[in-house]
Amino acid sequence: MSAHLAGGLTPLLVTLLLGWMNWRSLFALFGSIGFVWSLAWYRWFRNSPAEHPAVSVAERDLIESSLGGPAGAGHAVGAADWKRLLANRTVVCLCLMYFTQAFGGTFYVTWLPTYLASRGLTGMTAGVLAGLPLVFSAVADLVGGIATDRAAGRFGLRMGRVTIGGGALAAAVCSLSRARGSPRPWRRRSSSRSAAPSSNFLLGAAWGTCLDIAGRRSGAVSAAMNTSGQVGSILSPILVAEVVRRSSQWSAPLYLAGVLFLLGAICWLGVDPTKPVDESA
């Protein structure tokens, strides 16, 4: 939620700051924030609760008892473990799904400002419109996480994860379909922008499923899913540029994103968070 909120506010902040400094100084300013955060991380975070001075003995015992062993001990994932994890149907479906979600979502971070400029929108208006999908996504992140927990409590774990995850991508497909089918420009723009928060509504269900099925291997499963998403993020701006070049129209990459979102929604049908990776193939 914080990452999307920061990403949503950045275009507006950049537009304002460019009146006071050039883009090189702006890069240096934004880059310096990482050093501040590194210092805060070093001073506060620890590898395990037992190493943290703010964790009481009672709290540490509670954490360790729920994990069945010392927190932070983890489990080394060897070649055999990776083979089993990557052959697991739920893990594979999560990875494929996250590829489609990240591919479509990256469009809003990379090419949306250019798309808006092609429609004659620049300056503060473009900055606000470029940031809106991510600002709304921040809300969707939080509400989606609450929704999947409540749905899981009422309808069971699998229904709670799959309906929210698959439904979010299906809603994104509908948003893009409305964008292309509406004769009114303002409705096309609002519908296309709503696809981003719709797709991000699934994040709580996706990351929650990694914890549901993996236990002490949650780091490995989460990393596999996230890596697949990053591959989609890398390919997205490259393929979007190529599709626009070949088709000479911006509607083509939106169609591509819609198809991928649909395939991602179908992938959720193969996800079963009730079966731990050690018990299913």
Alpha helices in the chain (DSSP H): 2-17, 23-44, 57-67, 79-86, 89-110, 112-118, 123-155, 157-181, 185-200, 203-214, 218-247, 251-267
Q: What type of residue is 275? A: K
By the 8 A CB rule, do 267 and 161 touch? no
pLDDT tens, residue by residue, 20-71: 899 899 999 999 999 999 999 999 998 888 889 899 999 988 888 876 555 5
**pLDDT at position 185, please?**
47
Report residue 154's pLDDT band, with 50, 70 and 90 as the boundaries. Answer: very high
270 vs 63, which has greater pLDDT?
270
> What is the token pair recorded at 218?
């949650």
d(Cα 168, Cα 268) in Å, to the nearest integer? 11
pLDDT > 90: percent of the chain = 46
d(Cα 170, Cα 242) in Å, to the nearest integer? 26
**pLDDT at position 81, please?**
75
In Å, how far are 65, 159, 186 from 162, measured between CA atoms?
29, 5, 32
**pLDDT at position 183, please?**
46
- Distant-in-sequence, close-in-space partners of 50: CB < 8 Å, separation ≥ 6: 60, 64, 70, 71, 72
pLDDT at residue 248 greater than cutoff 60: yes
Taking the CA atoms of 20, 25, 27 and 28 in sequence, report the sign of the dihedral they define.
negative
**pLDDT at position 117, please?**
63
pLDDT tens, residue by residue, 96-150: 999 999 998 887 777 766 666 666 655 556 666 667 788 888 999 999 999 999 9
Closest by CA position to 122, among listed 18, 244, 216, 233: 18
CATH number of 78-270: 1.20.1250.20
- Please report the DSSP string for 45-62 in residue order: --SSGGG-TTS-HHHHHH
Q: How far apart are the first and last CA of the chain?
A: 33
By the 8 A CB rule, do 105 and 196 touch? yes
What residues does CATH 1.20.1250.20 cover in the chain? 78-270
259 vs 127, which has greater pLDDT?
259
